[in-house]
Amino acid sequence: MNEDTIITGPLYASRKKVYPQATHGTFRRIKWFLLCATLGVYYLMPFLRWDRGPNLPDQAVLIDMPHRRFYFFFIQIWPQEVYYFTGLLIIAAMTLFMMNAVAGRVWCGYLCWQTVWTDLFYAVERWVEGDRRERMLKDKKGFTIRHAFEIGLKNFLWLMIAWWTGGAFVLYFADAPTLVKQLLTFQAPGVAYTWIAILTFTTFMFAGYMREQTCIYICPWPRIQAAMTDEWALNVSYERDRGEPRMSVKKAAAAHAKGVPAGDCIDCQQCVAVCPTGVDIRNGSQLGCIQCGLCIDACDNVMKEIGRPPRLIFYDTDINIQRRAQGLKPIYRPIRPRTLIYPIMIALVGSVMVWKLATRSDLGVNVLHDRNPLAMPMADGGVRNGYTVRLLNKQPNDRAVKLSVSGAPGLNLKIMDGATEGQATVGPDQTLELRVLVIAPPDAIPSSPSPITFTAEDVTGQAKASVSDHFFPK
Protein backbone atom coordinates (compact mmCIF):
# COMPACT_ATOMS: atom_id res chain seq x y z
CA MET A 1 0.00 0.00 0.00
CA ASN A 2 1.23 3.46 -0.89
CA GLU A 3 2.27 5.54 2.11
CA ASP A 4 0.04 8.37 0.89
CA THR A 5 -3.02 6.15 0.78
CA ILE A 6 -5.69 7.35 3.19
CA ILE A 7 -8.38 4.94 4.34
CA THR A 8 -11.70 6.67 4.86
CA GLY A 9 -14.93 5.28 6.20
CA PRO A 10 -15.57 2.47 8.70
CA LEU A 11 -13.47 -0.68 8.70
CA TYR A 12 -16.61 -2.79 9.17
CA ALA A 13 -19.99 -2.45 7.52
CA SER A 14 -22.72 -1.33 9.87
CA ARG A 15 -25.11 -4.06 10.87
CA LYS A 16 -28.34 -4.39 8.93
CA LYS A 17 -31.14 -6.17 10.71
CA VAL A 18 -31.89 -9.56 9.18
CA TYR A 19 -35.53 -10.58 8.71
CA PRO A 20 -35.47 -14.27 7.74
CA GLN A 21 -38.57 -15.41 5.90
CA ALA A 22 -40.27 -18.72 6.58
CA THR A 23 -39.93 -21.38 3.91
CA HIS A 24 -40.81 -25.04 3.41
CA GLY A 25 -39.07 -27.96 1.79
CA THR A 26 -36.75 -30.88 2.41
CA PHE A 27 -34.04 -29.05 4.34
CA ARG A 28 -36.52 -27.08 6.43
CA ARG A 29 -38.16 -30.37 7.49
CA ILE A 30 -34.77 -31.80 8.38
CA LYS A 31 -34.04 -28.75 10.51
CA TRP A 32 -37.40 -28.99 12.29
CA PHE A 33 -36.82 -32.68 13.02
CA LEU A 34 -33.32 -32.08 14.41
CA LEU A 35 -34.53 -29.07 16.42
CA CYS A 36 -37.27 -31.12 18.09
CA ALA A 37 -34.96 -34.09 18.65
CA THR A 38 -32.05 -32.14 20.17
CA LEU A 39 -34.18 -29.86 22.35
CA GLY A 40 -36.30 -32.83 23.42
CA VAL A 41 -33.18 -34.67 24.58
CA TYR A 42 -31.81 -31.58 26.35
CA TYR A 43 -34.99 -30.65 28.21
CA LEU A 44 -36.29 -34.15 29.07
CA MET A 45 -33.12 -36.15 29.69
CA PRO A 46 -32.79 -35.12 33.38
CA PHE A 47 -36.19 -36.67 34.15
CA LEU A 48 -35.31 -40.12 32.78
CA ARG A 49 -34.81 -42.76 35.48
CA TRP A 50 -32.35 -45.65 35.59
CA ASP A 51 -32.33 -48.21 38.40
CA ARG A 52 -28.76 -48.77 39.59
CA GLY A 53 -29.65 -50.59 42.79
CA PRO A 54 -29.51 -49.46 46.42
CA ASN A 55 -27.41 -46.51 47.60
CA LEU A 56 -27.05 -45.08 44.07
CA PRO A 57 -29.01 -42.29 42.33
CA ASP A 58 -31.68 -43.36 39.85
CA GLN A 59 -31.33 -40.41 37.46
CA ALA A 60 -30.24 -41.68 34.05
CA VAL A 61 -27.80 -38.82 33.40
CA LEU A 62 -26.32 -37.11 36.43
CA ILE A 63 -23.17 -35.12 37.20
CA ASP A 64 -22.85 -35.71 40.94
CA MET A 65 -20.40 -33.01 42.02
CA PRO A 66 -20.55 -33.64 45.82
CA HIS A 67 -19.56 -37.28 45.33
CA ARG A 68 -17.44 -36.58 42.23
CA ARG A 69 -19.26 -39.05 39.99
CA PHE A 70 -20.73 -38.96 36.49
CA TYR A 71 -23.61 -41.29 35.75
CA PHE A 72 -24.77 -42.07 32.22
CA PHE A 73 -27.37 -44.84 32.24
CA PHE A 74 -25.39 -48.02 33.08
CA ILE A 75 -22.01 -46.24 33.03
CA GLN A 76 -20.46 -44.69 36.12
CA ILE A 77 -17.32 -42.56 35.78
CA TRP A 78 -15.05 -41.82 38.76
CA PRO A 79 -12.58 -38.91 39.01
CA GLN A 80 -9.71 -41.33 38.35
CA GLU A 81 -11.30 -42.15 34.98
CA VAL A 82 -11.23 -38.65 33.54
CA TYR A 83 -9.51 -40.08 30.46
CA TYR A 84 -12.96 -41.17 29.24
CA PHE A 85 -13.88 -37.51 28.88
CA THR A 86 -10.65 -36.99 26.96
CA GLY A 87 -11.72 -39.78 24.63
CA LEU A 88 -15.16 -38.22 24.17
CA LEU A 89 -13.58 -34.86 23.33
CA ILE A 90 -11.34 -36.52 20.74
CA ILE A 91 -14.33 -38.32 19.20
CA ALA A 92 -16.34 -35.08 19.15
CA ALA A 93 -13.48 -33.21 17.45
CA MET A 94 -12.95 -35.95 14.87
CA THR A 95 -16.69 -36.06 14.16
CA LEU A 96 -16.74 -32.31 13.61
CA PHE A 97 -13.72 -32.53 11.30
CA MET A 98 -15.33 -35.39 9.36
CA MET A 99 -18.58 -33.43 8.93
CA ASN A 100 -16.51 -30.54 7.61
CA ALA A 101 -14.69 -32.79 5.17
CA VAL A 102 -17.98 -34.18 3.84
CA ALA A 103 -20.24 -31.11 3.80
CA GLY A 104 -18.51 -28.00 5.09
CA ARG A 105 -20.33 -26.19 7.89
CA VAL A 106 -23.18 -28.69 8.04
CA TRP A 107 -22.75 -28.77 11.83
CA CYS A 108 -23.42 -25.03 11.97
CA GLY A 109 -26.52 -25.30 9.81
CA TYR A 110 -28.27 -28.13 11.61
CA LEU A 111 -26.86 -29.09 15.02
CA CYS A 112 -25.03 -26.14 16.57
CA TRP A 113 -26.84 -24.97 19.72
CA GLN A 114 -26.73 -21.37 18.48
CA THR A 115 -28.57 -22.42 15.31
CA VAL A 116 -31.07 -24.61 17.15
CA TRP A 117 -32.08 -22.02 19.74
CA THR A 118 -32.07 -19.19 17.21
CA ASP A 119 -34.40 -21.23 14.98
CA LEU A 120 -36.73 -21.68 17.94
CA PHE A 121 -36.65 -17.97 18.75
CA TYR A 122 -37.35 -17.12 15.10
CA ALA A 123 -40.37 -19.42 15.17
CA VAL A 124 -41.72 -17.58 18.23
CA GLU A 125 -41.05 -14.21 16.56
CA ARG A 126 -42.98 -15.21 13.42
CA TRP A 127 -45.87 -16.56 15.49
CA VAL A 128 -46.18 -13.29 17.43
CA GLU A 129 -45.20 -10.60 14.91
CA GLY A 130 -45.76 -12.29 11.56
CA ASP A 131 -43.44 -13.24 8.73
CA ARG A 132 -40.68 -11.18 7.11
CA ARG A 133 -42.88 -8.62 5.32
CA GLU A 134 -45.06 -7.95 8.37
CA ARG A 135 -42.07 -7.50 10.67
CA MET A 136 -40.36 -5.13 8.27
CA LEU A 137 -43.50 -3.00 7.88
CA LYS A 138 -44.07 -2.85 11.62
CA ASP A 139 -40.46 -1.77 12.28
CA LYS A 140 -40.75 0.84 9.53
CA LYS A 141 -43.96 2.31 10.97
CA GLY A 142 -42.35 2.67 14.37
CA PHE A 143 -44.08 2.61 17.74
CA THR A 144 -47.73 1.52 17.95
CA ILE A 145 -49.56 0.04 20.91
CA ARG A 146 -50.16 -3.22 19.06
CA HIS A 147 -46.53 -3.49 17.99
CA ALA A 148 -45.32 -2.71 21.51
CA PHE A 149 -47.59 -5.43 22.87
CA GLU A 150 -46.27 -7.94 20.34
CA ILE A 151 -42.66 -7.05 21.15
CA GLY A 152 -43.40 -7.44 24.86
CA LEU A 153 -45.09 -10.81 24.33
CA LYS A 154 -42.25 -12.01 22.11
CA ASN A 155 -39.60 -11.06 24.65
CA PHE A 156 -41.59 -12.67 27.44
CA LEU A 157 -41.80 -15.95 25.52
CA TRP A 158 -38.09 -15.73 24.68
CA LEU A 159 -37.33 -15.16 28.34
CA MET A 160 -39.39 -18.20 29.35
CA ILE A 161 -37.54 -20.39 26.85
CA ALA A 162 -34.20 -19.01 28.04
CA TRP A 163 -35.20 -19.52 31.67
CA TRP A 164 -36.14 -23.14 31.08
CA THR A 165 -32.91 -23.62 29.15
CA GLY A 166 -30.91 -22.51 32.19
CA GLY A 167 -33.17 -24.51 34.49
CA ALA A 168 -32.71 -27.69 32.46
CA PHE A 169 -28.94 -27.29 32.62
CA VAL A 170 -28.77 -27.30 36.43
CA LEU A 171 -31.05 -30.36 36.55
CA TYR A 172 -28.15 -32.43 35.26
CA PHE A 173 -26.27 -31.72 38.52
CA ALA A 174 -28.92 -32.88 41.02
CA ASP A 175 -31.99 -35.09 41.22
CA ALA A 176 -34.28 -33.33 38.73
CA PRO A 177 -37.72 -33.71 40.41
CA THR A 178 -36.29 -32.78 43.80
CA LEU A 179 -34.45 -29.73 42.45
CA VAL A 180 -37.52 -28.54 40.51
CA LYS A 181 -39.53 -28.63 43.75
CA GLN A 182 -36.77 -26.77 45.59
CA LEU A 183 -36.55 -24.14 42.85
CA LEU A 184 -40.30 -23.53 42.92
CA THR A 185 -40.32 -23.21 46.73
CA PHE A 186 -37.13 -21.08 46.75
CA GLN A 187 -35.25 -23.68 48.79
CA ALA A 188 -32.66 -24.59 46.15
CA PRO A 189 -28.94 -23.81 46.66
CA GLY A 190 -27.88 -20.31 45.66
CA VAL A 191 -25.48 -21.67 43.02
CA ALA A 192 -28.46 -23.16 41.16
CA TYR A 193 -30.20 -19.77 40.90
CA THR A 194 -26.92 -18.16 39.86
CA TRP A 195 -26.33 -20.54 36.97
CA ILE A 196 -29.95 -20.34 35.86
CA ALA A 197 -29.64 -16.55 35.75
CA ILE A 198 -26.38 -16.70 33.77
CA LEU A 199 -27.70 -19.17 31.20
CA THR A 200 -31.05 -17.39 30.95
CA PHE A 201 -29.29 -14.14 30.10
CA THR A 202 -26.84 -15.67 27.62
CA THR A 203 -29.52 -17.73 25.83
CA PHE A 204 -31.84 -14.72 25.63
CA MET A 205 -29.13 -12.47 24.21
CA PHE A 206 -27.38 -14.90 21.86
CA ALA A 207 -30.52 -16.48 20.36
CA GLY A 208 -32.79 -13.44 20.59
CA TYR A 209 -30.66 -10.45 19.65
CA MET A 210 -27.11 -11.36 18.63
CA ARG A 211 -28.23 -14.16 16.31
CA GLU A 212 -26.17 -14.15 13.10
CA GLN A 213 -23.57 -11.86 14.71
CA THR A 214 -22.57 -14.76 16.94
CA CYS A 215 -21.87 -16.93 13.90
CA ILE A 216 -20.02 -14.24 11.97
CA TYR A 217 -17.99 -12.43 14.63
CA ILE A 218 -17.85 -14.51 17.82
CA CYS A 219 -17.66 -18.17 16.82
CA PRO A 220 -14.13 -19.27 15.80
CA TRP A 221 -15.28 -22.34 13.85
CA PRO A 222 -15.94 -20.55 10.49
CA ARG A 223 -12.30 -19.45 10.37
CA ILE A 224 -11.01 -22.85 11.45
CA GLN A 225 -13.14 -24.90 9.07
CA ALA A 226 -12.23 -22.64 6.15
CA ALA A 227 -8.61 -23.65 6.67
CA MET A 228 -9.49 -27.36 7.01
CA THR A 229 -11.87 -27.86 4.10
CA ASP A 230 -10.90 -28.84 0.56
CA GLU A 231 -12.27 -28.55 -2.95
CA TRP A 232 -14.13 -31.89 -2.68
CA ALA A 233 -16.31 -30.92 0.29
CA LEU A 234 -19.99 -30.28 -0.44
CA ASN A 235 -21.13 -26.71 0.16
CA VAL A 236 -24.32 -24.83 -0.66
CA SER A 237 -23.57 -23.42 -4.11
CA TYR A 238 -25.26 -21.42 -6.84
CA GLU A 239 -25.13 -22.99 -10.32
CA ARG A 240 -23.89 -19.87 -12.04
CA ASP A 241 -23.56 -21.37 -15.53
CA ARG A 242 -27.25 -22.25 -15.43
CA GLY A 243 -28.54 -19.22 -13.55
CA GLU A 244 -26.83 -16.40 -15.46
CA PRO A 245 -27.69 -14.02 -16.96
CA ARG A 246 -30.51 -13.21 -14.54
CA MET A 247 -33.76 -11.82 -15.88
CA SER A 248 -37.51 -11.97 -15.27
CA VAL A 249 -39.68 -14.77 -16.64
CA LYS A 250 -41.08 -12.56 -19.41
CA LYS A 251 -37.67 -11.27 -20.46
CA ALA A 252 -36.28 -14.81 -20.41
CA ALA A 253 -39.08 -16.01 -22.70
CA ALA A 254 -38.40 -13.13 -25.08
CA ALA A 255 -34.67 -13.85 -25.01
CA HIS A 256 -35.23 -17.54 -25.77
CA ALA A 257 -37.50 -16.59 -28.67
CA LYS A 258 -34.66 -14.53 -30.13
CA GLY A 259 -32.08 -17.24 -29.45
CA VAL A 260 -30.34 -15.14 -26.82
CA PRO A 261 -29.04 -16.89 -23.66
CA ALA A 262 -31.14 -16.40 -20.53
CA GLY A 263 -30.49 -17.84 -17.06
CA ASP A 264 -32.96 -19.63 -14.82
CA CYS A 265 -32.41 -17.16 -11.95
CA ILE A 266 -35.17 -14.53 -12.01
CA ASP A 267 -33.52 -12.43 -9.30
CA CYS A 268 -36.48 -12.88 -6.95
CA GLN A 269 -34.21 -12.54 -3.87
CA GLN A 270 -35.97 -15.42 -2.12
CA CYS A 271 -32.66 -17.13 -1.39
CA VAL A 272 -31.55 -13.98 0.45
CA ALA A 273 -34.90 -13.48 2.19
CA VAL A 274 -34.87 -16.91 3.88
CA CYS A 275 -31.18 -16.85 4.89
CA PRO A 276 -30.81 -16.59 8.69
CA THR A 277 -27.57 -14.63 8.26
CA GLY A 278 -28.64 -12.46 5.31
CA VAL A 279 -26.16 -13.98 2.83
CA ASP A 280 -26.65 -13.86 -0.94
CA ILE A 281 -25.35 -17.28 -1.93
CA ARG A 282 -25.17 -16.19 -5.57
CA ASN A 283 -22.07 -14.20 -4.65
CA GLY A 284 -20.21 -17.41 -3.84
CA SER A 285 -18.96 -18.97 -0.61
CA GLN A 286 -19.01 -16.53 2.31
CA LEU A 287 -18.15 -16.48 5.99
CA GLY A 288 -21.77 -15.89 6.97
CA CYS A 289 -23.15 -18.96 5.17
CA ILE A 290 -23.88 -21.71 7.70
CA GLN A 291 -24.82 -24.29 5.03
CA CYS A 292 -28.37 -24.73 6.37
CA GLY A 293 -29.92 -25.35 2.94
CA LEU A 294 -32.92 -23.03 3.41
CA CYS A 295 -31.97 -21.11 0.25
CA ILE A 296 -32.17 -24.43 -1.62
CA ASP A 297 -35.76 -24.93 -0.46
CA ALA A 298 -36.71 -21.34 -1.34
CA CYS A 299 -35.17 -21.53 -4.80
CA ASP A 300 -36.73 -24.94 -5.50
CA ASN A 301 -40.16 -23.56 -4.61
CA VAL A 302 -39.68 -20.67 -7.07
CA MET A 303 -38.40 -22.99 -9.81
CA LYS A 304 -41.46 -25.18 -9.33
CA GLU A 305 -43.78 -22.20 -9.67
CA ILE A 306 -42.22 -21.02 -12.94
CA GLY A 307 -41.85 -24.51 -14.37
CA ARG A 308 -38.07 -24.79 -14.35
CA PRO A 309 -35.85 -27.61 -13.02
CA PRO A 310 -35.03 -27.52 -9.28
CA ARG A 311 -31.61 -27.36 -7.63
CA LEU A 312 -30.43 -24.11 -9.12
CA ILE A 313 -28.93 -23.80 -5.64
CA PHE A 314 -27.77 -27.05 -4.07
CA TYR A 315 -24.89 -28.83 -2.30
CA ASP A 316 -21.92 -29.05 -4.63
CA THR A 317 -18.13 -28.98 -4.61
CA ASP A 318 -15.67 -26.32 -5.79
CA ILE A 319 -14.31 -28.84 -8.29
CA ASN A 320 -17.72 -29.27 -9.92
CA ILE A 321 -18.33 -25.53 -10.06
CA GLN A 322 -15.13 -25.22 -12.09
CA ARG A 323 -15.99 -28.24 -14.24
CA ARG A 324 -19.43 -26.87 -15.09
CA ALA A 325 -17.89 -23.58 -16.13
CA GLN A 326 -15.76 -25.61 -18.55
CA GLY A 327 -18.75 -27.62 -19.81
CA LEU A 328 -17.62 -30.85 -18.10
CA LYS A 329 -19.74 -33.34 -16.15
CA PRO A 330 -19.64 -33.16 -12.35
CA ILE A 331 -17.67 -35.76 -10.39
CA TYR A 332 -17.81 -36.57 -6.69
CA ARG A 333 -15.26 -38.10 -4.33
CA PRO A 334 -16.93 -38.73 -0.97
CA ILE A 335 -14.27 -41.36 -0.21
CA ARG A 336 -10.83 -39.78 0.03
CA PRO A 337 -7.97 -39.82 2.59
CA ARG A 338 -9.44 -37.31 5.04
CA THR A 339 -12.91 -38.90 4.99
CA LEU A 340 -11.27 -42.22 5.81
CA ILE A 341 -8.79 -41.05 8.44
CA TYR A 342 -11.40 -39.38 10.65
CA PRO A 343 -13.75 -42.41 10.88
CA ILE A 344 -10.77 -44.67 11.54
CA MET A 345 -9.63 -42.44 14.39
CA ILE A 346 -13.19 -42.30 15.77
CA ALA A 347 -13.47 -46.08 15.59
CA LEU A 348 -10.05 -46.55 17.18
CA VAL A 349 -10.66 -44.21 20.12
CA GLY A 350 -14.20 -45.52 20.55
CA SER A 351 -12.98 -49.13 20.55
CA VAL A 352 -10.36 -48.39 23.19
CA MET A 353 -12.99 -46.70 25.37
CA VAL A 354 -15.44 -49.59 24.97
CA TRP A 355 -12.69 -52.10 25.75
CA LYS A 356 -11.66 -50.18 28.86
CA LEU A 357 -15.28 -49.97 30.02
CA ALA A 358 -15.85 -53.67 29.40
CA THR A 359 -12.70 -54.81 31.18
CA ARG A 360 -12.41 -52.27 33.98
CA SER A 361 -12.68 -53.46 37.56
CA ASP A 362 -15.01 -52.01 40.16
CA LEU A 363 -12.22 -52.52 42.69
CA GLY A 364 -9.09 -50.38 42.78
CA VAL A 365 -5.86 -50.16 44.76
CA ASN A 366 -3.16 -47.47 45.04
CA VAL A 367 0.11 -47.65 46.98
CA LEU A 368 2.45 -44.96 48.29
CA HIS A 369 5.84 -46.04 49.71
CA ASP A 370 7.18 -44.27 52.81
CA ARG A 371 9.90 -41.83 51.80
CA ASN A 372 11.80 -41.43 55.06
CA PRO A 373 13.05 -43.94 55.89
CA LEU A 374 12.68 -46.24 52.88
CA ALA A 375 13.54 -49.29 54.99
CA MET A 376 13.63 -49.94 58.74
CA PRO A 377 15.84 -52.66 60.35
CA MET A 378 14.13 -54.88 62.92
CA ALA A 379 15.43 -56.35 66.18
CA ASP A 380 15.47 -59.91 64.79
CA GLY A 381 17.64 -58.85 61.82
CA GLY A 382 14.79 -58.52 59.35
CA VAL A 383 13.78 -55.42 57.36
CA ARG A 384 10.42 -53.77 56.96
CA ASN A 385 9.07 -51.23 54.47
CA GLY A 386 6.07 -49.03 55.19
CA TYR A 387 3.30 -48.23 52.68
CA THR A 388 0.05 -46.34 52.55
CA VAL A 389 -2.48 -48.42 50.65
CA ARG A 390 -5.79 -46.98 49.45
CA LEU A 391 -8.55 -49.41 48.49
CA LEU A 392 -11.30 -48.20 46.18
CA ASN A 393 -14.75 -49.82 46.22
CA LYS A 394 -16.98 -48.79 43.31
CA GLN A 395 -19.92 -50.95 44.37
CA PRO A 396 -22.93 -49.51 46.27
CA ASN A 397 -22.52 -51.99 49.15
CA ASP A 398 -19.92 -52.96 51.79
CA ARG A 399 -17.12 -55.07 50.43
CA ALA A 400 -14.64 -57.41 52.11
CA VAL A 401 -11.26 -57.14 50.41
CA LYS A 402 -8.19 -59.30 50.95
CA LEU A 403 -4.78 -57.66 50.42
CA SER A 404 -1.67 -59.65 49.53
CA VAL A 405 1.88 -59.00 48.31
CA SER A 406 4.00 -60.95 45.85
CA GLY A 407 7.16 -60.57 43.78
CA ALA A 408 9.94 -61.40 46.26
CA PRO A 409 10.01 -64.73 48.15
CA GLY A 410 9.47 -64.80 51.89
CA LEU A 411 7.82 -61.39 52.29
CA ASN A 412 5.07 -61.00 54.86
CA LEU A 413 2.31 -58.37 54.81
CA LYS A 414 0.88 -56.83 57.96
CA ILE A 415 -2.00 -54.33 58.08
CA MET A 416 -1.63 -51.95 61.01
CA ASP A 417 -5.25 -50.71 61.16
CA GLY A 418 -6.90 -53.57 62.91
CA ALA A 419 -7.64 -55.75 59.90
CA THR A 420 -7.22 -59.47 60.41
CA GLU A 421 -5.64 -61.98 58.05
CA GLY A 422 -4.89 -59.28 55.50
CA GLN A 423 -8.55 -58.52 55.04
CA ALA A 424 -10.42 -55.18 55.33
CA THR A 425 -13.97 -53.97 54.74
CA VAL A 426 -14.50 -51.02 52.40
CA GLY A 427 -17.74 -49.07 52.60
CA PRO A 428 -20.13 -48.63 49.66
CA ASP A 429 -18.85 -46.30 46.95
CA GLN A 430 -15.94 -45.30 49.20
CA THR A 431 -12.18 -45.50 49.60
CA LEU A 432 -10.30 -46.90 52.58
CA GLU A 433 -6.78 -45.89 53.52
CA LEU A 434 -4.63 -48.53 55.28
CA ARG A 435 -1.23 -48.40 56.92
CA VAL A 436 0.65 -51.51 55.69
CA LEU A 437 4.04 -53.03 56.57
CA VAL A 438 5.88 -55.48 54.31
CA ILE A 439 8.40 -57.49 56.35
CA ALA A 440 11.36 -59.48 55.05
CA PRO A 441 12.72 -62.06 57.55
CA PRO A 442 16.55 -62.23 57.98
CA ASP A 443 16.84 -65.12 55.53
CA ALA A 444 14.64 -63.46 52.84
CA ILE A 445 16.11 -59.97 52.60
CA PRO A 446 16.74 -59.20 48.88
CA SER A 447 20.19 -57.99 47.91
CA SER A 448 18.84 -55.00 45.95
CA PRO A 449 15.55 -53.10 45.57
CA SER A 450 13.02 -55.64 44.32
CA PRO A 451 9.74 -55.06 42.45
CA ILE A 452 6.71 -56.26 44.34
CA THR A 453 3.00 -56.34 43.53
CA PHE A 454 0.12 -55.52 45.86
CA THR A 455 -3.07 -57.36 44.98
CA ALA A 456 -6.53 -56.47 46.31
CA GLU A 457 -9.15 -59.15 45.75
CA ASP A 458 -12.82 -59.34 46.61
CA VAL A 459 -13.28 -62.27 49.03
CA THR A 460 -16.01 -63.56 46.71
CA GLY A 461 -13.51 -63.64 43.84
CA GLN A 462 -15.59 -61.31 41.65
CA ALA A 463 -12.96 -58.61 41.17
CA LYS A 464 -9.23 -58.14 41.48
CA ALA A 465 -6.89 -55.18 41.17
CA SER A 466 -3.12 -54.88 41.50
CA VAL A 467 -0.41 -52.24 41.56
CA SER A 468 3.41 -52.44 41.52
CA ASP A 469 5.97 -50.87 43.83
CA HIS A 470 9.41 -51.75 45.28
CA PHE A 471 10.81 -53.29 48.42
CA PHE A 472 14.07 -51.74 49.62
CA PRO A 473 16.55 -53.80 51.71
CA LYS A 474 18.14 -50.67 53.20
Structure confidence by residue, pLDDT tens digits, 163-198: 999 999 999 999 999 999 999 999 999 999 999 999
Closest CA to 224 of 334, 99, 126: 99
430 and 399 Cβ atoms separated by less than 8 Å: no
- Mind listing the pLDDT tens digit for each residue in 302-351? 999 998 999 999 999 989 888 888 888 888 888 999 899 999 999 999 99
> 382 lies in which domain range?
363-471
Judge if pTM exceeds 0.85: no
| Domain annotation covers residue 9 | no
Our count of domains for the chain comes to 2
Mean pLDDT, residues 147-155: 93
Out of 87-91, 206-210, 428-432, least confident range:
428-432
Specify the pLDDT at position 397: 81
Q: Which residues contact 437 (CB under 8 A, 6 or more apart)?
A: 384, 385, 386, 387, 413, 414, 416
| pLDDT > 90 in the chain, percent | 44
- Where does the pLDDT of residue 61 fall: very low under 50, low under 70, confident under 90, or very high at 90 and above? very high
Whether 209 shows a pLDDT value over 60: the answer reads yes
Residue 361 main-chain phi, psi, to 5 deg: -100, 145
| Same domain membership, residue 373 and residue 267 | no
- Where does the pLDDT of residue 87 fall: very low under 50, low under 70, confident under 90, or very high at 90 and above? very high
| Of 331, 360, 389, the domain-final residue | 360
- Measured CA to CA, the distance from residue 448 to residue 177 in angstroms comes to 61
| Same domain membership, residue 330 and residue 305 | yes
| Domain annotation covers residue 5 | no
**Any idea what the CATH number is for the domain that residue 467 is in?**
2.60.40.10
- Where does the pLDDT of residue 10 fall: very low under 50, low under 70, confident under 90, or very high at 90 and above? low
| Same domain membership, residue 50 and residue 65 | yes
- Where does the pLDDT of residue 404 fall: very low under 50, low under 70, confident under 90, or very high at 90 and above? confident
| Same domain membership, residue 178 and residue 125 | yes
- Where does the pLDDT of residue 1 fall: very low under 50, low under 70, confident under 90, or very high at 90 and above? very low
Specify the pLDDT at position 305: 92
459 and 402 Cβ atoms separated by less than 8 Å: yes
How far from each other are the two terminal CA atoms of the chain, in whole angstroms?
76
Mean pLDDT, residues 286-295: 90
| Same domain membership, residue 318 and residue 292 | yes
- Measured CA to CA, the distance from residue 97 to residue 224 in angstroms comes to 10
| Same domain membership, residue 183 and residue 211 | yes
Burial class (CB in 10 A: 0-12, 13-18, 19+), 370: middle
- Mind listing the pLDDT tens digit for each residue in 345-392? 999 999 999 998 888 888 888 899 988 888 888 888 888 888 998 988
Average pLDDT in the chain: 88
Q: Which residues contact 136 (CB under 8 A, 6 or more apart)?
A: 19
Which H/E stretch holds residue 425?
strand 423-426
| Same domain membership, residue 422 and residue 300 | no
| Same domain membership, residue 311 and residue 291 | yes
Query: 256: how many CB neighbours lie within 10 A of its CB?
Result: 11
